[in-house]
Amino acid sequence: MAKYIGVLTSGGDSPGLNAALRGIGKAAEGQYGMQIIGFKDGFRGLMENRSIQLNRQTLSGILTLGGTILGTSRDKPHKMPVGGKTLDMREAIVQNYEKHHLDCLICIGGGGTQKNAYKLVNKGLNIITLPKTIDNDVAMTDVTFGFDTALSIAVDAIDRLHSTAHSHHRIIVVEIMGHWTGWLALGAGLAGGADVILIPEIPYDIKVVAESILKRSRLGSPFSIVAVAEGALSKEEALAIKKIDEKIEKTEDKEQKLKLTSELAALRALREGNTMRLAALLEDMTSLESRVTILGHLQRGGTPSAADRLLATQLGTACADYIEQGIFGVMVAARGNTTKPVPLEQVVGVRKFVPTDHEWIKSARAVGTCMGDK
């Protein structure tokens, strides 16, 4: 009997989502005769039962498109704003899953989506996920699709900033996305030849950064490119956050935990605008004029790179195979040249940070890039 498959895209969009939908749909329909239904706007569309049929016709011509033809949202099944309240909508989701006689639901997303999908596994649904995000921070997969495209966009931006920084003898601080991890800033900084790379995994000392820029200036290069991850922290900020984190870990008292959590959120919120402050501080400390470029959502838009199309297609077609074999409760991970189904328990709640002994960090240091710590 034909299987009925549901699919949704959730969280921030990422180049390669349409390639993944096409890979899943074409393989599931063409190889196994499955019927595929796409839910609009992430978990919200599933909860509100807004869907479209995905077949050869609807999936044709989307391989090269950025964004997602299904739309996306950051809505969570267990905490969804509905009619002015935040409600647990998992029962409504289960009902719609049953209404469509689904044999399986595919959730394509980043770390948050893996968590949300797991909450539906616990409601008895057959779930399989795919890892996508420009941040590359999903655990248990070598890489996520979207990362390669965003990396190229950021490198292209750094290349362009280089010539103007050079001409004006300026410091240009370029802020790169990546949420709490530094994969994008590190990769783009290294590939773009940034002079300073600041990532959350290595808290920085502003004096060290300023001195490295001054040293370049003394050696005849009175300009610098500083690639800073949006989540980068100074040593002082990292220490303050660590202290609160430790207190949260230790306390058993619920009220105290809530208080500390909002303290932590306030501290993190303070960090907004950090890149502007960093540039101003460096201008003061070096007497070199500074400018800021925030790449923002430019990094998520546009045509997916060949590497992202390949990865998304590979994970998508493998996903159809796993469904045919009845393998559920897993994320389809990229491992070397192949794919592996990884139990969602191993993925959920784990963020993949850049290891501080990563080869890219070693290489950056070896070519004289300042990583902000020494």
Contact predicate 144/110, CB 8 Å: yes
* 3 state DSSP class of 236: helix
Count of C-beta atoms within a 10 Å radius of residue 38: 25
133 touches ligand F6P by CB under 6 A: yes
User: Phi and psi at residue 274, in whole multiples of 5°?
Assistant: -55, -35
Taking the complex as a whole, how short is the minimal distance between the CB of residue 149 and ligand F6P, in angstroms? 12
195 touches ligand F6P by CB under 6 A: no
* 3 state DSSP class of 178: coil
352 touches ligand F6P by CB under 6 A: no
State which of residues 15, 77, 109, 110 lies at the interface with ligand F6P (CB under 6 A): 110
For residue 248, what is the enclosing H or E element? helix 235-250
State which of residues 75, 135, 148, 308 lies at the interface with ligand F6P (CB under 6 A): 135
179 touches ligand F6P by CB under 6 A: yes
**Of the candidates 210, 178, 227, 169, the residue with the CA atom closest to the CA atom of residue 364:** 227
200 touches ligand F6P by CB under 6 A: no
67 touches ligand F6P by CB under 6 A: no
State which of residues 12, 131, 182, 304 lies at the interface with ligand F6P (CB under 6 A): 12
17 touches ligand F6P by CB under 6 A: no
Strand order in the sheet with 330-335: 51-54, 35-39, 4-9, 104-109, 127-131, 330-335, 338-343
Contact predicate 6/39, CB 8 Å: yes
134 touches ligand F6P by CB under 6 A: yes
Which residue's CB is nearer to ligand F6P, number 103 or number 230? 230
Task: For residue 332, give the amino acid letter.
Answer: V
Q: Is-catalytic flag, 245?
A: no
177 touches ligand F6P by CB under 6 A: yes
Structure tokens at 160: 């362009």
Taking the complex as a whole, how short is the minimal distance between the CB of residue 13 and ligand F6P, in angstroms? 8
Which residue in the list 13, 41, 135, 148 is annotated as catalytic?
Answer: 135
Binding site for ligand F6P (CB under 6 A): 12, 110, 133-135, 177-179, 230, 300
Q: Which residues does the annotation mark as catalytic?
A: 135
